[in-house]
Amino acid sequence: MTPNDVSLPPPLPPVDGGAPAPEVPIQGVFSAMEALLRRPADLWSHLRKPGAGATILALIGIAALCMGVYGIVIGTFAGGDQLWAAPLKVVLGLLISALICLPSLYIFACLGGAKTKLSEVVGLLAGLLALMTILLVGFAPIAWIFGQSTDSLGWMGFLHLGFWAVALGFALRFFFAGFRVLGQGGGAGLKAWMILFALVMVQMTTALRPILGQAPTFLPPEKRFFLSHWTQHLKEPSPAGAEGQRGAPAGAQPAR
Amino acid sequence: MKDTAYPLEIPNLLRGEVKSIERWLRSGHPHASASPLVMVLVGSALYGASIGLWRSPLQAGFAAIKFPSVIILTTLGTALLNGMLAPLLGLNIRFRESLGAILASFAIASLVLGALSPVAFFLAWNMVPLGEIPSAGSNVHAWVKLFHVGSIGLAGVAAHVRLWQLLKKLAGSRAVAFRVLGSWLATNLFLGSQFIWILRPFIGAPWLPVEFLRPDAFRGSFFETVFHDVLQLIS
């Protein structure tokens, strides 16, 4: 998905068939969630107005809360300490990734010709995170069912990655459309940033491992690039429904 | 409008009378959801019983409970996600309405299956009992499975044709309706397959005891099994 091939979300037809609904003020967490899902145009417009800071904070709060909920679902796979460690890690990972990528987003967007303020960029990024995590909460019951049914770390890792990719796809759609509305483009700069952001988030899952399985330490003792970590994990024998992966004693398996 | 309960009538639902279904969907009365729920419970329980009867009457009872359970659990499990996907894909309906639309389509499928259940019962009654089928040289098992696959496929097609018509009316756009239908179908199939796997057996196997759930019900997933079967075939 790129800024050029993403169109604005289709206008939502009014329920009663009448004229389009007027802009609704965004106040509070639930109003922001509603706007993210149903009235993105209201949200983009709100980001330009004074007092958008509270909405941005609400969006960040939504992102942290929803990611925490999804993290608990991730933690139920291994249980034990992961019930608190996994949500903590994914929430921190998400916020740190966003913080790491924020400067590059602003610079790349400006390089691409976007005419937005930093506060608007922060608002759009917060909206991206919030929408992505709201969708992940939607996936949570499905992830939980599969997590209770399988012992395979590889399968669950693949599943979570798939859910994250779908959620990120929808969130980027919102994000790019918002940029087009607020900043008149962003072009190649945003394309590059999108790849960077995805890579940072994926690497964060390796840097903060284990998130899904268990390991003797809270954080990994050795540093590794995510590609080499995944390649190594895939090379290890992992028969279908192999026993002892999910609840294996600490240290009995590689950190993931 | 919200205080009036519009029951979802079977003929209207089956004929796909969009106005009537839409009125039911928008009514918002708590009692309104009861009618498709009853259709799902009765229709799919009857068909479930007809599937299990070939193995034993007890298996029929188990399948009569499990078959509607798969539908209800799948509907509830994907409700949140489907409710979010609809507005994101351009269909401005409420969470309750998306849940109602999906429930209505499952009700149609259950009605079709319920209507086919006498045929399925007749088939089970006419077949050599599952426990007496010789291990080789018989294709009875394949024929019975083919019948069930065909029936469930037919019910699924009928349900989705009607859901498509409803979504098209609600969205006012074929493209939006197509996207929403596709996403709902994908999520329901994804989770539904896993629930079928967890709640197995439905037909049962002659060499295994009749039981409500297999002892390893929560071991592995449907997709892992398919993946490893494919690997075995190509290796």
Does residue B76 register a pLDDT over 60? yes
Interface test with B, best of A36, A133, A149, A152 (most B CBs within 10 A): A149
Q: Chain B residue closest to A146 (CA)?
A: B221
Note the pLDDT of residue B135.
58
Report d(CA B161, CA B164) in Å as an integer.
Answer: 5
How distant is the Cα of A124 from the closest Cα of chain B, in angstroms?
Answer: 16
Q: Which amino acid is residue B202, in one-letter code?
A: F
- Using CB atoms within 10 Å of the CB of residue A22, give its burial: 0 to 12 exposed, 13 to 18 middle, 19+ buried: exposed
Nearest Cα to B48, choosing from B153, B101, B130, B121? Answer: B121
The tokens describing B196, both together, are 């079928």
CB atoms A138 and B195 under 8 Å: no
Does residue A21 register a pLDDT over 70? no
On chain A, the residues whose CB falls within 8 A of the CB of B90 are: 9-12
Note the pLDDT of residue B88.
92
More confident residue, A85 or A24: A85
Identity of the residue in A140, A149, A173 whose CB atom sits nearest the CB atom of B194: A149
ipTM exceeds 0.95, yes or no = no
CB atoms A240 and B78 under 8 Å: no
Note the pLDDT of residue A33.
86
The percentage of chain B sitting over the pLDDT mark of 70, rounded to a whole number, equals 94
Confidence of residue A70 (pLDDT cuts 50, 70, 90): very high
Question: What is the mean pLDDT of the segment spanning B80-104?
Answer: 92
CB atoms B225 and A13 under 8 Å: no
The angle that helices A153-183 and A187-207 make with each other, rounded to 10 degrees, is 150
Report d(CA B185, CA B193) in Å as an integer.
Answer: 12
DSSP code string of B96-143:
HHHHHHHHHHHHHHHHHHHHHHHHHHHHHHHSPPGGGS-SSS--HHHH
- What secondary structure, in 3-state letters, does A8-72 show? CCCCCCCCCCCCCCCCCCCCHHHHHHHHHHHCHHHHHHHHCCCCHHHHHHHHHHHHHHHHHHHHH
CB atoms B223 and A137 under 8 Å: no
Q: Is the torsion defined by CA of B42, B47, B48, B52 positive or negative?
A: positive
Question: What is the mean pLDDT of the segment spanning A108-116?
Answer: 77
Does residue A116 register a pLDDT over 90? no
The tokens describing A23, both together, are 């802009």
Does residue B3 register a pLDDT over 70? no
How distant is the Cα of A240 from the closest Cα of chain B, in angstroms?
Answer: 7
The neighbour count for residue A222, using CB atoms within 10 Å, is 6
Peptide bond into A10 cis (omega under 30): no
Does residue B193 register a pLDDT over 80? yes
The neighbour count for residue A99, using CB atoms within 10 Å, is 10
Span B161-178, pLDDT tens digits? 889 999 999 999 999 999
The neighbour count for residue B157, using CB atoms within 10 Å, is 12
How distant is the Cα of A45 from the closest Cα of chain B, in angstroms?
Answer: 18
CB pairs under 8 A between A and B: 86
CB atoms B194 and A145 under 8 Å: yes
DSSP annotation of A212 reads: S
Q: What are phi and psi of A192, to 5 degrees?
A: -65, -40
Note the pLDDT of residue B149.
87
Interface test with A, best of B75, B173, B199, B224 (most A CBs within 10 A): B224
The neighbour count for residue B37, using CB atoms within 10 Å, is 18
More confident residue, A220 or A140: A140
CB atoms A145 and B195 under 8 Å: yes
Note the pLDDT of residue B40.
94
First to last CA, chain A: 28
Q: Which of A80-84, A236-240, A247-251, B225-229 has the highest mean pLDDT?
A: A80-84
Mean pLDDT, all residues of chain B = 86
Instruction: Specify the range with the lowest mean pLDDT, choosing from A181-185, B127-131, B185-189.
Output: A181-185
Report d(CA A68, CA B3) in Å as an integer.
Answer: 38
Global pTM reads 0.77
Report d(CA A156, CA A162) in Å as an integer.
Answer: 10
Does residue B112 register a pLDDT over 50? yes
Report d(CA B42, CA B72) in Å as an integer.
Answer: 12
CB atoms A12 and B224 under 8 Å: no
Note the pLDDT of residue A23.
65
CB atoms A240 and B83 under 8 Å: no
Distances (CA, A) of A168 to A41, A77, A100: 19, 22, 17
On chain B, the residues whose CB falls within 8 A of the CB of A138 are: 80-85
Confidence of residue A15 (pLDDT cuts 50, 70, 90): very low
Instruction: Specify the range with the lowest mean pLDDT, choosing from A240-254, B22-36, B81-95, B126-140.
Output: A240-254
Q: Report whether A181 contacts A197 (CB < 8 A).
A: no
The tokens describing A2, both together, are 């790129």
Does residue A22 register a pLDDT over 80? no
Note the pLDDT of residue B22.
87
CB atoms A149 and B77 under 8 Å: no
Question: What is the mean pLDDT of the segment spanning A13-37?
Answer: 66
CB atoms B87 and A149 under 8 Å: no
Note the pLDDT of residue A244.
35
Does residue B6 register a pLDDT over 90? no
On chain A, the residues whose CB falls within 8 A of the CB of B171 are: 13
Mean pLDDT, all residues of chain A = 79
Distances (CA, A) of A241 to A76, B214, B222, B234: 17, 15, 11, 20
Nearest Cα to B100, choosing from B173, B178, B6? Answer: B6
User: Cα angle vertex A142, ends A237, B217, to 5°?
Assistant: 60
Confidence of residue A84 (pLDDT cuts 50, 70, 90): very high
How distant is the Cα of A242 from the closest Cα of chain B, in angstroms?
Answer: 9
Q: Report whether B41 contacts B59 (CB < 8 A).
A: no
The neighbour count for residue A26, using CB atoms within 10 Å, is 25
On chain A, the residues whose CB falls within 8 A of the CB of B176 are: 10
Q: Which of A10-24, A104-118, B20-34, B189-203 has the highest mean pLDDT?
A: B189-203
**Which ranges of chain B would DSSP assign to H, the alpha helix?**
10-15, 18-27, 34-52, 57-88, 95-126, 140-171, 174-198, 222-234
CB atoms B190 and A138 under 8 Å: no
